[in-house]
Structure 1
Amino acid sequence: MTIKRAASLFAWILFAVIAYSTMSPLDLRPRIGHLVHLERFGAFGLLGLLFAIAYPRRLGLVLVLVFATAIGFELLQMVSADRHARVTDVMVKLLGGACGVFGGWFLHRFRLPLLRLLGR
Structure 2
Amino acid sequence: MTADKFSKPLAWLLLAAIIFVTVSPIGLRPHTVTSVNIDRALAYMVVGLAFAVAYPKHWMTVALLLIAGAVFIEYLQYLSPTRHARLHDAAVKAVGATVGVAIGSLFNRVRAAKANAS
Flag whether TM exceeds 0.5 (same fold). Answer: yes
Ranges of 4+ aligned residues in structure 1 off by more than 3 Å: 112-117
Stretches of structure 1 that go unaligned for 5 or more consecutive residues are none
Residue in 2 that maps onto 1:33: 33
Partner-residue secondary structure (3-state), 1:78? helix
- After superposition, the C-alpha distances for 1:78-114 in whole angstroms (9 at most, x for unaligned) are 2221111112111110110000000011111123446
CA contact (8 A) 1:3 1:54 kept: no
Residue in 2 that maps onto 1:43: 43
Quote the offset at 1:58 in angstroms.
0.8
The alignment's TM-score, normalised by the length of structure 1, stands at 0.87
Could you say what the CA RMSD is over the residues aligned between the two structures, in angstroms? 2.0
CA contact (8 A) 1:37 1:92 kept: yes
Residue in 2 that maps onto 1:101: 101
The alignment's TM-score, normalised by the length of structure 2, stands at 0.89
Q: Distance in 2 between matches of 1:79 and 1:112?
A: 43
Question: Which of the two has greater helix per residue?
Answer: 2
Report how many residues are paired.
Answer: 118
CA contact (8 A) 2:59 2:105 kept: yes
